[in-house]
């Protein structure tokens, strides 16, 4: 499973976050390698209201046992079933 870490800007207000704020994200992708997933990753985030995406790091997670945070475990399981999953840190960077 591919794991991607980065930041993105929210393009429209939602019930919890304000448009124009930048947030950290973690994303899981069932498909690899990273370079071949860039367009799909961007499309996935943009359709959810995020843009100006900056990928800071990426790597491979071999199984869910290496993940200790429950939200990330849930995202891993969702990506395993659906192909992609993203978690957003609710605390804005700016």
CATH of the domain at 44: 3.10.510
Q: Which residues of the chain have pLDDT under 50?
A: none
Confidence (pLDDT) at 94: 67
The answer as to whether 26 is a domain residue is yes
Confidence (pLDDT) at 52: 96
Range of the domain at 38: 2-88
Q: What is the CA radius of gyration of the chain?
A: 13
Confidence (pLDDT) at 26: 96
The answer as to whether 94 is a domain residue is no
The answer as to whether 61 is a domain residue is yes
Peptide bond before residue 33 is cis, with ω within 30 degrees of 0: yes
The answer as to whether 80 is a domain residue is yes
Nearest by Cα to 38 from 26, 47, 29: 29
The answer as to whether 93 is a domain residue is no
The answer as to whether 84 is a domain residue is yes
The answer as to whether 25 is a domain residue is yes
What's the whole-model pTM score?
Answer: 0.88
In total, how many domains does the chain have? Answer: 1
Confidence (pLDDT) at 65: 87
Nearest by Cα to 31 from 58, 70, 65: 58
């Amino acid at each position: 499973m591919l794991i991607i870490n980065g930041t993105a800007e929210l393009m429209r207000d939602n019930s919890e976050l304000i448009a124009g704020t930048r947030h950290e994200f973690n994303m899981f992708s069932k498909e690899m390698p990273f370079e071949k997933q860039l367009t799909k990753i961007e499309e996935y985030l943009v359709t959810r209201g995020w843009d100006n995406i900056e990928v800071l790091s990426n790597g491979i997670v071999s199984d869910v046992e290496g993940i200790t945070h429950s939200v990330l475990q849930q995202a891993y399981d969702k990506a395993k079933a659906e192909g992609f999953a993203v978690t957003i840190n609710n605390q804005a960077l700016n």
